[in-house]
Structure 1
Amino acid sequence: MKRTLALTLAGALCLAGCAGWEASSAPAAQAASTVNIDLLSINDFHGRLAKDGIIAGAAVLAGAVNSFTASNPNTRLISAGDNIGASTFTSFIQQDKPTIDALNSMKLTASALGNHEFDHGRADVDGRVRAAAAFPYLASNLYDSATGRPAYDQYSVSVVDGVRIGFIGAVTETLPSLVAVDALPGLEVRSIVPEVNAVADRLSDGDTTNGEADVIVLLVHEGAATANIASSTDSSTFGRIVSEADGNIDAIVSGHTHQSYAHSVPVAGWPAGLQRPIVQAGEYGETIGHLSLAVDSVTHQPHSLSAELVPLTNPDTSPRYAPDAAVAGIVAAAEAVAAVRGAVSVGSISADLNKARQNDGSDNRGGESTLGNLVADAQLDSTRGVGAQIAFMNPGGLRVNLGYASSGPGDPDGNVTYREANNVQPFASTLIALDLTGAQVARVLEQQWQPTGTGRPFLKLGVSRGFEYSYDPSAPAGSRISRMTLDGLPLNSAATYRVVANKYLADGGDNFSTFAAGTNRADTGRIDLDSMVEYLKHNPAAGPDLAQRAVGAHFSPGVAGGLTPGDSFTVALSSLLFSGGEKAATTVELSYRGAVIGHASIDPTIVDTTDEVGRATITATLPGDGDAGPGALTVTVPGTGTAIDLPITVKPTAVLPVGGLTDGNRSAFADVSVTPSPAPAGSLVQVNVPGHDGRPVTVVGYAPQLTLTTAAAVAGGRVTVRIPAGYAPGAHPLAVYAGDGSLLGWTTVTVTPRARI
């Protein structure tokens, strides 16, 4: 292998010329025979020009390069792709030209192409992007399908203090699924490993006509799923890249998955003690990767390789490096342009779109909001073309309200500017599509109740129009979600649904780990700001949807076992109102099979930290004309559009046993009787069920058949029932059933004519 031969040669040279070294002189001699090279790497920068918390900004990134270069002139900056695309407003509004200018200024040596470089299609990369970049964009596995030749430079070689460093680029094999369907005309995406290895072998074959390199670094826009080294060495796509890359590839700089890791991995055929570094530096320029190479000055082969991650900000988010003045100027100019272009109108709204509030006016991330739901609507609309069915939005991704009132002269009421849309969700987050089963969707909703000890007990997800659910806020964890519907149809727990969310949420952020378990993940190529802007363009005067997409409901005891027509019950409702200042409805109705069976006033008191604002309690009786089996009660808030079903089970009305009520089917342990008898129609009587004190019973009258009550027998086994006013004079059987539906016994009440007044 190349590495073994190189080290053997180095050892032979040392034996020939170093035999007389004193121990004390060895370090100096070694230093004289070594070229130390520092390769600083970024990935997934995504146009983060300005400082924002732990995002250091382009000027500080350039300052870090300056600092390393001052200590070691043999310093170079490299990238694993996605320098541009999914960018913040300051870069986005100029099609990322300021970001490319900043990277040019800090002398980026080489970069792999990432999928986001193709956000505006192949023609944009081939023309505008490559023309603006002073550095080579590399992709060894992209071919022109018409010519069969590489579509882009596969590698570049930089000479550093006499050492030739070859940088090979590659882009994720899933590129076609990450961009618009027409974004890659005439472009063929080939497997990474064979293409990279072929280039590495050419750079190591001794033929100086095809670009020999002493050290080879792979810049690949593909990465491990987690920071754990197991994800870099398993059977995943990236694991295979690591394990199957030829031994003449000295280091791998990765990207795409926004992970932070610096690993060293053994390579077959390499000497013991020498391992290949694998590095990915997170995202957005928060950190940089640092590859340290010690290269023999005679053989030009590395005898030491190591990797680390270097944060660009201190724990208090202050910069660790002095900003570079030239890049700071580029950023300032971009911000000035963004200020002007940010004033451009992108649409209009008809009323305020607000976040949820607490009593003191501060944000309540636990409350459903008109803004969160509209953002989810926008994200679903922008990704329907890739099969999305449901969109979710995390409340922490909403930074400000979208107000209706004018912001000043020249800005009419309802106008929404680019800057205002950006301020709502300034993260320029990629939208990720993934598959979840109905059961997993329920688990996502359960995870709104946050783990004990977290800063907020509940985080309410915005959901897209067409998706609704009911829940019991007092139910045990794991059983709170009672019903979910999509376009009016219940979700099937075993069926698969295409879900979209911003990358933070899709990666399991805010403890929504079920998203991270989704399958068939794909970067949609859209970002949140783009989806909002497009939605406003296509929906003039968009306004807040006052319909709640989730309602809380807690039933009185016993309802879970089912309701028999004629049964009375109570349901405590919540989450009937928004808390962001929207006009509050005053009443709520409960319906069954289209008929209102109860209503109540709504308490508009704001409930902090949770989604329970808008509370009401309704007591109702289930009508006697329902079919047995699964059913639903409908919660309606007049004037808002809220109409959400609550699932119930309707039990069949008790029927006469086969053969009628006879001594043969009387219960052996209950001697049922009624007092007084005879009694007039409409009067109260006591049904006696000896030995059944405190247990639920159902009393059914016959001729005609009608459930008279379902209640727990009091001391002495007595249950009070009213003889229906419509019962004709004569004998009427009464049957008594236990809670499990079994017959306890029967008796007969003699009905006398109703007393006249």
Structure 2
Amino acid sequence: MRIRSHPDRPAPRRRRLIAVATAGALALGGGVIAVAPAQAADEPLEINLVTVNDFHGRIEAAAPVGGIAALAKAVDGIRSTNDRTVFAAAGDMIGASTFTSFIQQDLPTIDTLNDAGLEVSAAGNHEFDKGWLDLRDRVQDAADWEYIAANVFLKGTQETALSESWVKDFGDVSVGFIGAVTEELPSLVSPGGITELDVRPIVASVNGAADRLTDGNAANGEADVLVLLIHEGAANTSYAAVTDSSAFAQIVSGASPKINAIVSGHTHLAYNHEVPYAGDTGQRPVISSGQYGEKFSNMVIQVDPATKTVLSMDNTVYDMYVGTTPQYPVPADDPILAKVNVAKAEAAVQGGVELGKITADFNRAKLAAGTENRGGESTLGNFVADAQLWSARRTDPATQIAFMNPGGLRADMAFAPDGVLTYKEAADVQSFANTLVTLTLTGDQIRQALEQQWQPAGAQRPFLKLGISKGFEYAFDPAAAPGSRILRMTLDGVDIDPAASYRVVANSFLSTGGDNFGAIGQGTNKRDTGQVDLESMVAYMAEVKTATPDYAQRSIGATLPAPAGAQGYEVGSSFDIALSSLDFSTTEPRATTVDVTIGGKPAGTSAIDNTLPTAISDVNGKATVTVTVPEGITGTAKFGTPVQVPLTVTTPRGTSIEIPVTVFERADSSTLGIPSKFLAKRNSSVQFTTIVVAEKGTVVTGEVTISDGDEVIATATLTAKDRGIVKVKLPALDRGVHKLSVSYGGSDTVKPSESPTFPVLVW
């Protein structure tokens, strides 16, 4: 058996001897994995490919997570019956790990995966969490397996940063693995950590690698069977998700027919599909084993050793637990389990340190299903932003605003059982060890950053709600067009000036444009504080001793109808406002009502609908409030002159956010119409004098309409020089009684009015 990697990378070190046995089958979980015994030369060669993905340092067992010791036991069981076995992965083996591994730089995960015999893995986005240099110089050196990625290049070159492929020989048959990482990598990790790299299109990159592995040039590491290990995946578990027009399905359909199987990850879903293709078997497996070592896959590959043709590829996904029953029990003296226990003991010492007290839960936002809603405002996101603002000011006192990305919050902070916040609990929240970076943004760049919460067109991620520090507030219109959603931003009650500069702090991930917040990445005068986010939380808790959640929303959604006239909303007029983001979504006390004032005067109130959203968004806490613009607003006494006043939205939980609206008031008017004759001979001339007077001597202009009953018989226009009086000669009136009246249509400064009816008898 020979192992070969891309020529520019050394072959991985091996620290395990693979046990070889001749048993024909091994009971695993709920079924039996059949593997071939030693075969005669003319029999098909059988290879077992065992795969996992998105392990994320879950070395401890806790149903449904099997733990590394049980996973190693399952893999060893397959190896023991077939020495032609490969253990491979589709990325994210480390990073976003649980505390036991995280607090020790993921070394317990790397060490135990080495012991489990992992041989090759695609690089996932989380392998780059601490930057390319950390992956290259620390992680890859500690790992006995080979990380591969055909679409990640050293910037400006044609040289891949990692090996593009890895090959394992089984006698006369070789299996080649090609790696790839999601093209979204630059938006998923701190861009500053991968400045030396270019992430290029997956399909072209892996197809090029497939061509090199099959071009007859031994220097390229020739292979007979090709497997794509790709850290990208389907949006759901359906067959359609790997065959439709989605980005991942296009990768599946675009992958060279030389590639016999696709092992995927990234979306944390378990699926097991066979998709038609033009390769040997006619059906290409497209699989994923879910997440966290809850499952693993075993692909049985049959190859004709003479023709090197792939005869079949049969994949099965196995559960590590069925309910609460482990399918691969680990004996107490298992050596890998012993390493896990040592790591747990060390983490317990470091994690048990008390940082301070909390008076209630600090939560991430939730959907109706109970899952995380990264689009919702959260007490936890705002609290972390508060802590980071305080911490940044220790080294950069001019810092004014903090932003926190929701994806950087990996757990809630629960009050139970005793209100004590430990190091481990804080570390579970912020597990990426990002440093805090201060930078300068213009007010308009802050607006752009808030707009980017909706994410650019084509992005795989939906709306992402930034946590913001206390004192910074904004209102947004979720129904507005992209680029115009932000209605108002204030800092300590003062409007953000688009042209002014503001000092902002964000973690190193956000500071370089992570999660597609490019406006933050454009900040100037960047200064790395050297403070790791978790360390800043430790220092903050040492300062405040006890932390209490802030139940006031720091942003709200508001959709207002357009004013009926060009001057704004008229005093006395009524309209509906659609409000959202009025409440939190978990254990926080509910905000049940919302009040609206205009110009400081009550304008409307409504109950709040606290039904949780079913899709990621910031619409929790909704209400439609019918408001009436009150009279007596300061500044509107000068009739017809528009004034800008605050429309203030408040809830009993402390939310109070102002949106500027323009209102105006018109003077009241009175209209009188007097005919020149009350008795008139048929065909005689009748003149109708119209008099319109307005409050406080306001100048009257506009149209007057004279009616005979319901029929309009004459109109006239009042100009300023008419001083509200106009005489109109009426058309000839037929014999009978005519009920004459006049209506004044109003103007920008004067309200409409109508006269009483005057009867005129024509004989």
For structure 2, list consecutive stretches of 5 or more residues without a partner in the other structure.
1-37, 365-369, 393-398, 435-447, 456-463, 497-505, 510-514, 522-530, 614-619, 676-691, 700-741, 758-763
The structural deviation recorded for 1:108 is 0.8
For structure 1, list consecutive stretches of 5 or more residues without a partner in the other structure.
1-27, 358-362, 408-415, 442-459, 491-499, 504-517, 665-698, 707-733, 749-757
Give the aligned residue type for 1:49. Answer: I
| Aligned match of 2:168 | 158
CA contact (8 A) 2:176 2:225 kept: yes
CA contact (8 A) 1:379 1:532 kept: no
| Aligned match of 1:464 | 468
The structural deviation recorded for 1:31 is 11
Q: Where do 1:148-187 residues align within 5 Å?
A: 149-160=159-170, 163-184=173-194, 186-187=196-197
The structural deviation recorded for 1:644 is 1.7
Q: Where do 1:262-301 residues align within 5 Å?
A: 262-268=272-278, 270=279, 274-301=282-309
C-alpha distance after superposition, 1:16-66 (max 9, x if no partner)? xxxxxxxxxxxx999971222221211221112223443332233223323
The structural deviation recorded for 1:285 is 1.9
Q: Compare 363-372 and 296-305 and name the one that shifted more.
A: 363-372
Kindly report the root-mean-square deviation, in angstroms, between the aligned alpha carbons of the 2 structures. 6.4
| Aligned match of 2:666 | 653
* Distance change in 2, residues 1:486/1:142 (3 Å): same
* Distance change in 2, residues 1:122/1:390 (3 Å): closer
| Aligned match of 1:44 | 54
The structural deviation recorded for 1:98 is 0.8
Give the aligned residue type for 2:317. Answer: L
Give the aligned residue type for 1:549. Answer: R
Equivalent residue for 1:58, pick from 54, 68, 73: 68
The structural deviation recorded for 1:244 is 3.7
* Distance change in 2, residues 1:637/1:705 (3 Å): farther
| Aligned match of 1:751 | none
Equivalent residue for 1:81, pick from 80, 91, 103: 91
Equivalent residue for 1:68, pick from 64, 68, 78: 78
1:329 aligns with 2:322: no
State how far apart, in whole Å, the 1-side matches of 2:409 and 2:156 are: 47
The structural deviation recorded for 1:116 is 1.8
State how far apart, in whole Å, the 2-side matches of 1:167 and 1:590 are: 62
State how far apart, in whole Å, the 1-side matches of 2:410 and 2:131 are: 31
State how far apart, in whole Å, the 1-side matches of 2:579 and 2:301 are: 65
C-alpha distance after superposition, 1:426-452 (max 9, x if no partner)? 9999xxxx99969969xxxxxxxxxxx
State how far apart, in whole Å, the 1-side matches of 2:476 and 2:153 are: 51
Give the aligned residue type for 2:352. Answer: A
1:487 aligns with 2:501: no
| Aligned match of 2:350 | 341
Q: Where do 1:213-292 residues align within 5 Å?
A: 213-233=223-243, 238-268=248-278, 270=279, 274-292=282-300
1:702 aligns with 2:710: no
The structural deviation recorded for 1:202 is 3.7
State how far apart, in whole Å, the 1-side matches of 2:206 and 2:605 are: 69
* Distance change in 2, residues 1:631/1:239 (3 Å): same
The structural deviation recorded for 1:97 is 0.6
1:400 aligns with 2:409: no
Q: Where do 1:182-581 residues align within 5 Å?
A: 182-184=192-194, 186-208=196-218, 210-233=220-243, 238-268=248-278, 270=279, 274-314=282-322, 316-323=323-330, 325-344=334-353, 352=359, 354-355=361-362, 370-371=379-380, 373-375=382-384, 398=412, 400-401=414-415, 407=420, 416-422=421-427, 464-465=468-469, 466-469=472-475, 485=487, 487-488=489-490, 534=536, 537=539, 541=544, 544-545=549-550, 547-549=552-554, 564-565=570-571
Q: Compare 529-538 and 318-327 and name the one that shifted more.
A: 529-538
C-alpha distance after superposition, 1:329-362 (max 9, x if no partner)? 22222211111111357x667x6353589xxxxx
CA contact (8 A) 2:572 2:629 kept: no
The structural deviation recorded for 1:131 is 1.9
* Distance change in 2, residues 1:597/1:58 (3 Å): same
The structural deviation recorded for 1:544 is 4.2
State how far apart, in whole Å, the 2-side matches of 1:111 and 1:276 are: 20
Q: Where do 1:101-112 residues align within 5 Å?
A: 101-112=111-122
| Aligned match of 2:135 | 125
C-alpha distance after superposition, 1:399-424 (max 9, x if no partner)? 5139996x5xxxxxxxx542131456
| Aligned match of 2:657 | 644
The structural deviation recorded for 1:125 is 1.9
State how far apart, in whole Å, the 2-side matches of 1:632 and 1:98 are: 57
Match of 1:108, SS state, is: coil
CA contact (8 A) 2:174 2:223 kept: yes
The structural deviation recorded for 1:124 is 1.7
CA contact (8 A) 1:394 1:462 kept: no
The structural deviation recorded for 1:88 is 1.6
State how far apart, in whole Å, the 2-side matches of 1:418 and 1:155 are: 40
Match of 1:487, SS state, is: strand
State how far apart, in whole Å, the 1-side matches of 2:83 and 2:239 are: 32
* Distance change in 2, residues 1:661/1:178 (3 Å): same
C-alpha distance after superposition, 1:482-513 (max 9, x if no partner)? x97552479xxxxxxxxx99x9xxxxxxxxxx
TM-score by length of structure 2 reads 0.58
Aligned pairs, how many? Answer: 579
The structural deviation recorded for 1:89 is 1.2
- Identity of matched residues, %: 38
CA contact (8 A) 2:50 2:88 kept: yes
C-alpha distance after superposition, 1:466-493 (max 9, x if no partner)? 4555999xxxx99xxxx97552479xxx
The structural deviation recorded for 1:702 is 3.3
